[in-house]
Structure 1
């Protein structure tokens, strides 16, 4: 009886090794970092002060190295949870882990953004993706590729101000976001620019599109990198961040695993 019980337990353990085998298969795939490294002098929202880094212990004389970082939560490639805009909505520590490993959908409009820096993602762009790849999967992370990240780390180039101080960079549209979140029921979205809303809107302090996403209790990622190195469909994305209690934003580490 003991032998049969041990055999059954052994079989159960063997069955559970499926995740290990899956991880071994992932090692054969291409892993792409979608995150900018940050320091004190990087592109950021116009209202933020620069970050600072201070060495508080060093190898000599202490035998180890410790730095103290001072920056706003929305620094570098970062996550905006719902509580960033809406009191009572989910904070960083309240977003479940299952929302951090997702199918990655890339909507590639980089050529349109190159010819028109004020370009806003349209429902036609999403429909074109769906004609090629099928319906946007429920629970996906949808990224808008504009190649704006290639301007990093030049703040002036990222903001692209005209003579009147109006910013010109691409953004989302209300119609597109409503379709993705309400019809296709995606989990989150992201982009390469400093804002969800296009520059001409943020120059008037209009952040209604970001407010919409966060207001329906979803999160987003800003200042993504390397979207030109992942396919439009088929990749997985891992979106992770530290866990400050009731945190309203923090630098994120985001990466893709290509098919």
Structure 2
């Protein structure tokens, strides 16, 4: 069984104030087929974790490790990480003018697999996935995310997830900006990927509403770049009722 292991991870980013620590000794183990939800207040480092796993150059790893089946992820380029089976669904998907969804998806699939998919089979698979995600077939001919609504961008992220078939997916606040209907459709897409490929999911979110549709095996509370509490789905329910104040108060007392 494939395993993504994060050990004592320390990450900094350059800001106007200089080098700023964001992740401060974070550890997490994600096995294929598992769903881990990471919850926490704004500024706790959740998106930093997502982009560090993906290899964003803005973030500098100053300590710790990320390993996929024993292989050092931090030594891999971004495209090598993708080919190894890592996928990031971005919180704010970018527009790519001049590149159609059809060309983008087939080029990405070819890069991941090392060979182009058979046209007939691929076309059928794309159409079915778009139908499942309730995407208008006309989107296939549109430029990537150009003029897409927030919900359409998120559906396109999950379309990529279904077609590229990674081993592990990091979903960075995929639920943000979605109405109830879109949330259900996107969640169904994630669940299909889990069922068909045994996908491991690292689900980053502020709220529990997406966890009504994607059942987490583990819930982690992240504050100030660390995991401060872990548990099962019941922890998410408690966070819904109590919020994050109980984790933040000690930090306030220390400053005082």
TM tier, smaller: under 0.3
Q: TM-score, normalised by structure 1?
A: 0.27
Q: TM-score, normalised by structure 2?
A: 0.27
- Higher relative contact order by CA 8 Å / sep ≥ 6: 1 or 2? 1
Which one has the bigger helix percentage?
2
Higher Rg of the two aligned structures: 1
